[in-house]
Amino acid sequence: MKIEVLPERERGVCCAVELEVPEVRAVEIADVLKALADPTRLQMVLALRAAKEPVCICDFTVTFALSQPTLSHHMAKLRRAGLVEATRRGIWAYYRLKPHLPAHVRRIVDALA
């Protein structure tokens, strides 16, 4: 193994790395990825992506055999990440993917399907 020795003038010179994504967008993407990092939330998002109409939280309780409060907790995380929106009809909440997700977020969701 040969070790390359840099000339004196090149040692210790640090250069900034050009970043592909601005910090604000990197934070937004990280928040989306954190929200999707849970298997239940990932499946919920993909189900909403495929649904033609908003899905009632009660339908998710049957699908996942989880309590309504647990599923509402998952949905709250997805809402905070900007992935879903809810409408109320009586006592039930109906969820759908936000129709106008930023293109980079839409590509993430589409890539997971």
Pairing of strands 55-56, 84-89: unpaired
pLDDT in single tens digits along all 113 residues of the chain: 666 665 665 666 788 888 888 899 899 999 999 999 999 999 999 999 999 999 999 999 999 989 989 999 999 999 999 999 999 999 889 999 999 999 989 999 999 98
- The pTM of the full predicted model, rounded to 2 decimals, is 0.79
Sorted by where each starts, the structural domains of the chain and their CATH numbers stand as: 23-112 (1.10.10.10)
Whose CA is closest to 45, among 71, 8, 16, 12? 71
| pLDDT at 8 (0 to 100) | 60
Whose CA is closest to 66, among 87, 41, 36? 41
